[in-house]
Chains A and B, each alone.
Chain A
Amino acid sequence: MITDISLYEVLTVTTLLFFIGVYGFITRKNLISMLISVELILNASVLNFVFFNQYLYPEMLQGAIFSIFIIAVAAAETALAVAIIINLYRKISSVEVADVENMKY
C-alpha cells in the first residue's frame, strides 16, 4: 500500500478514468480513438486489480498476475485492431465508424 493514501482515493481515480474511457468510446467517431478509449478502460481495471491486491491481500500475487494477463491481451487486441483498421482503410479509404455501418448487414 501507499503510505497515507486510502483505497477510496485510488478507487476514485480509477472510476473517473474508467468513465472517461467510456465517454471517449461513445463519442469518438474514429476507430483509432475508440481503441485509445478502450486502452483507458483497460488501464482503469488493471489499476483496480493491482490496488485491491495491494490493499486487501498483500501476501498474494493474483492481482499482479492478472494485470500481466490483461496487458498481454490488450497488446494482442491492439495488434489485431490495427491490422483491421489498415485493411479497412485500404478498402474504403476511411476509418470512420459511420462508413463501416453496412457491416451490420
Chain B
Amino acid sequence: MERILFYLLSIIILIFAISAVSSRKMLRSVIYLLFVLCAIAGLYFMADYNFLAAVQLTVYAGGIVVLMIFSVMLVHHIDMEMEVAGKTKQALTAALCLSGVVVFLIAIYQHPFAIVPTQNTITVAEVGTLLLGYQAGGFILPFEVISVLLLAVMIGGIVIAKAGKKPQEKTPKS
C-alpha cells in the first residue's frame, strides 16, 4: 500500500516538475510547481514528519506560490508565451543533466547506507524544544539569525520594490 502511494507521489512530483520547467505559459508553470510542492508534502506525511509537511504546505504552497502568482500577474499577460533557449542549448543542457543523473545515481547505488530500521514519529513539541534550545545541540542561535534575516528581507523587499517610485512622485509636485 505505502509502496504504491510512494510511487504515485514520486510520479506526480517528477511529471509536474518536468511540466513546470517546460511549460510555455507562466501561470501554468507556477500551478505545476504548486502540485509538486503538495506531493512533496505528501512524502513528508508518509515519513511521519507531520510538522514539516504542515510547514511545507503553509509556507510553500500557501505563501511562496501565492507570491509568485502575484508577480506573474503583475508582469505578464496570462496568455503570454514565453521564450525558451534555442534547441542546441536545450539539447546540451539535457545531455548534461542526464549525464549528471547517471553519475549521481551510480554513486548513490554504489554506496552502502547503514540504515537504522526504527520508526520514529516526530512531535511538534520535540521540534520546538530543539529549535529554541540553548543547551548543547540547541538551535536558538541559527533561529535568531533566521529571524533577523527575515526582518532584513522584509525591509529590503519594501525598499527595492519602492525604489523606482520616488522620482515619479516628485515630478508632479514641481
List residues of A whose CB falls within 8 A of some B CB. Answer: 1-5, 7-9, 11-13, 15-17, 19-24, 26-30, 32-33, 35-37, 39-40, 43, 46-47, 50-51, 54-59, 61, 64-65, 67-69, 71-80, 82-87, 89-91, 95-96
Minimum-distance CB pairs A-B, first 9: A24-B21, A83-B157, A76-B153, A58-B120, A19-B97, A83-B161, A83-B160, A89-B75, A27-B85
Q: Which residues of B contact A27 (CB under 8 A)?
A: 21, 84-85, 89-90, 93
Q: Are A26 and B26 in contact (CB under 8 A)?
A: no
Given contacts A16-B101, A82-B70, contact A23 B94 (CB under 8 A): yes
Which residues of chain B (135-153) have a CB below 8 Å from chain A?
139, 142, 146, 149-150, 153
Interchain CA distance A17-B43 in the complex, whole Å: 14
Q: Are B64 and A55 in contact (CB under 8 A)?
A: no
List residues of B whose CB falls within 8 A of some A CB. Answer: 2-3, 6, 10, 13-14, 17-18, 20-22, 26, 29-30, 33, 36-37, 40, 43-44, 46-49, 51-52, 55-56, 59-60, 63-64, 67-68, 70-72, 74-76, 82-85, 89-90, 93-94, 97-98, 100-101, 104-105, 108-109, 113-120, 122, 126-127, 130-131, 139, 142, 146, 149-150, 153-154, 156-158, 160-161, 163-164
Q: Which residues of B contact A23 (CB under 8 A)?
A: 21, 93-94, 97
Given contacts A19-B101, A33-B21, A71-B59, contact A79 B157 (CB under 8 A): yes
Given contacts A17-B14, A75-B64, contact A5 B164 (CB under 8 A): no
Q: Are B85 and A40 in contact (CB under 8 A)?
A: no
Interchain CA distance A2-B6 in the complex, whole Å: 9
Given contacts A4-B3, A51-B47, contact A68 B55 (CB under 8 A): yes
Interchain CA distance A19-B18 in the complex, whole Å: 10
Among A2, A43, A56, contact of B114 (Cβ-Cβ < 8 Å)? A56
Q: Are B47 and A50 in contact (CB under 8 A)?
A: yes
Q: Are B33 and A36 in contact (CB under 8 A)?
A: yes
Among B14, B43, B85, contact of A26 (Cβ-Cβ < 8 Å)? B85
Given contacts A2-B6, A7-B113, A50-B44, contact A61 B14 (CB under 8 A): no
Q: Are A76 and B149 in contact (CB under 8 A)?
A: yes
Interchain CA distance A51-B6 in the complex, whole Å: 13
Among A1, A40, A85, A95, contact of B36 (Cβ-Cβ < 8 Å)? A40
Q: Are A35 and B115 in contact (CB under 8 A)?
A: no
